[in-house]
Amino acid sequence: MEWSIQDIAKKAGTTSRTLRHYGELGLLTPSRVGGNGYRYYDQDALVRLQRILLLRELGLGLPAIAGILDGQQDTAAALRTHLALLEQERARVGRLIASVRTTLHKTEKGEELMAEEILDGFDHTRYEQEVTERWGRDAYEKSDRWWRSLSEGERREFMGRHEDIARDWGQAKKDGLAADSDGAQAVAARHCDWLSAATTSPGRSYVINVTAMYVDDARFGRNYDKYEQGAAVLVRDAMKVYAERHLTD
């Protein structure tokens, strides 16, 4: 049994472009290519894609995933490892739920809150390795210092700004705006300004590379595609246009 690239992309909640990108990197080779140029994937390829997506969900970058897949030829052993990691994540999420329930209960009862109970399960450094690999240790440390310097209200305001921008990207996609249109470029200007809050005067290559991740990495792309499928691609393309027009390195 085999599936077309469109079928696999739809079932995986990703895009054909992303699957082709995985192929170009040697991560996911189609089992065959039809005479019409369409790519098809068999059961082995489907299992490999599952492993890729699992590792992405766990926060690994594509280079790290390639190394893991090349080093693990035993599919069953690899899946056992993935299962163990997912169970660890489930336990962490369970602690988060318990933490919030405890905070809610004690807040409603007027009882004293304990830091250990409130913060159990949180990990704000989970992207440390990936950021360091992509942009260097200095980039991570600057971003980490900036985030820790914000108050809780400032963090909510920062994320709220992003949610408004993401919603407008979704509307731009629904309206069929081209990446270089005035409307899309207006949203791109706001998006670039939002990025500059954490990175002073972001350069052209930084903006292009960061927004390319919105398509390459489903964790980030879903922030935009949840408003309209394909919005992440519009973000990437429009931000590239904006960066090439207005930014320097």
Domain boundaries, the chain: 2-71, 78-123, 137-246
Report angle CA 72, 75, 77 to the nearest 5 degrees.
75
pLDDT in the model for residue 183: 94
Report angle CA 87, 93, 98 to the nearest 5 degrees.
125
pLDDT in the model for residue 172: 96
pLDDT in the model for residue 115: 47
Q: How many CB atoms lie within 10 A of CB 187?
A: 24
Q: What burial letters (b/e) apply to 112-123, b meaning 16+ CB within 10 Å?
A: eeeeeeeeeeee
Q: Tens digit of pLDDT for each residue in 80-93?
A: 766 776 776 677 67
CATH of the domain spanning 2-71: 1.10.1660.10
CA dist 113 and 122 (Å) reads 16
H/E segment holding residue 20: helix 16-24
Q: Tens digit of pLDDT for each residue in 128-184?
A: 565 566 556 666 667 767 777 777 678 778 888 888 999 999 999 999 999 999 999
CA dist 96 and 130 (Å) reads 23
pTM value? Answer: 0.50
Domains 2-71 and 137-246 share a fold: no
Would you say how long the chain is, in residues? 249
CA dist 130 and 60 (Å) reads 7
C-alpha dist (Å) from residue 179 to 164, 169, 203, 212, 241: 18, 11, 19, 14, 7
pLDDT in the model for residue 63: 78
Question: With the C-alpha atoms ordered 149, 121, 215, 233, is the resulting torsion angle positive or negative?
Answer: negative
For the CA atoms of 29, 62, 49, 91, the dihedral, rounded to the nearest 10 degrees, stands at: 170
pLDDT tens-place values along the chain, 249 residues long: 888 988 888 888 888 888 989 998 889 999 999 888 889 998 888 888 888 887 777 666 787 788 777 765 566 766 676 677 677 667 767 766 776 777 677 677 776 555 444 445 445 555 556 556 655 666 666 776 777 777 767 877 888 888 899 999 999 999 999 999 999 999 999 999 988 887 666 788 888 888 888 887 777 788 898 889 999 999 999 999 999 999 987
Percentage, residues of the chain above pLDDT 90: 20
Phi and psi, residue 191, nearest 5° = -65, -40
* Nearest residue to 238 (alpha-carbon basis) of 249, 227, 224: 224
Angle between helices 152-174 and 231-246 in degrees, nearest 10: 100
CATH of the domain spanning 137-246: 1.10.490.50
